[in-house]
Chains A and B, each alone.
Chain A
């Protein structure tokens, strides 16, 4: 009995430093954010904090607010619904476009094609490059002037003046040669921002999946070959099920990464209102509007959503008899 107690005490003592770090670095900031989200205060100095309960959350999810003095309804510029929809759309694109593409490349590269190492490096390179540099790079691609590669390409194939006529009609005279102010309008800015985000992390997921595929026992693959399985069947019935834990991790990273996405969109567009995401809205409310209660509420919502999606994805990937971690 004494020995068991001493054993448990030892374990506790060894776990204590990690537990303290976990509490101080992770749990305490979350708890502080949750606490601040119930208050209205407009300075970091945190003086004159007014307790307002769930009002911050209500404000974030109200598309229209009513002016208390004249009863007039007006559009709420702090509405989070659109930003949340945008990030869920990004998550869906990540899961249904980015990950299948990464899987396809990983499957092809794992077959030992010539120049495998070169391809691996090339696909992984965007992950290594700073997001700010990638943002600048894509700004040049989207440049609406002569320097823009995308518009130059469209002009070269005669697509100028024909794209998005409804935006053209709304904004300018018919004289305009519209080949795309890709980051300038709501209609195109979101997609223009999503493409580089998706492109940047294809290589990251590809590398995870590639490593997983290399771990598939060769006996299994040889047995399948002896049984006369086609490449498609090997991929579908052996490799993909075998790397399921890695796929689960990739899906969790893709979805939570989409919810947290900030840096590339911020670099690409100085005015993020055209492609707002929860994290860009949070930044604006915290550091431009000085609305720390509202910003903290978005932080809490993001944390909750990340945990929720991680849990749901774990459940979706759970096989019979397996417990959700």
Chain B
């Protein structure tokens, strides 16, 4: 018994062994080196950083008070912004739903369609809205159309991917039951799949509409319509009080969008 107690006292416990500790130190070291390298390499002009507080107060002073004279034009542009988001979201639905159908494991007609669907979704999502906008401004010229297409092309990936996942999560048993009645494929979809993905569909579309309103506010920076056009113009002409009005308007719009979407979500779900 006594010997046993001695053994117990000598026991040591370590969460990590020697090798694991070395690996952890190495990872820490590499991380620090990458951060150091990044900060050195990006060439920050430090005097400007230290001057930032002055610049902020000066800009604030120039912006204050916000200039309400252009309010009518701003409100018009705001409405245009919302239109871009709404139209783009609606158009997206028509493209995204078929794509999600072929990109879902359990509904895709064949391997080729599965990969085609996934390729469309990935390429849509890997390109930012602003990049899409630049592309469409180059093709269709500046204006609302380029903005709508840009938002749409980015949204296809978003709605398509989430709807595809919703389809993959359905209960297969009603599908089997509908097939057993002798229903055609279209009827099986209408009765066994559509009712099951309806709640997800509304939630996803409402969420994307909300995101699209925010995204369409910046489209104007590259000339693709909406409030961003006026914002860019005001910044270029140093009309800081007008810029302040626009920024406030954008915040208000996003808040209204948020309120509407949470209201809708409560209604449909």
Question: Is B one of A's binding partners?
Answer: no
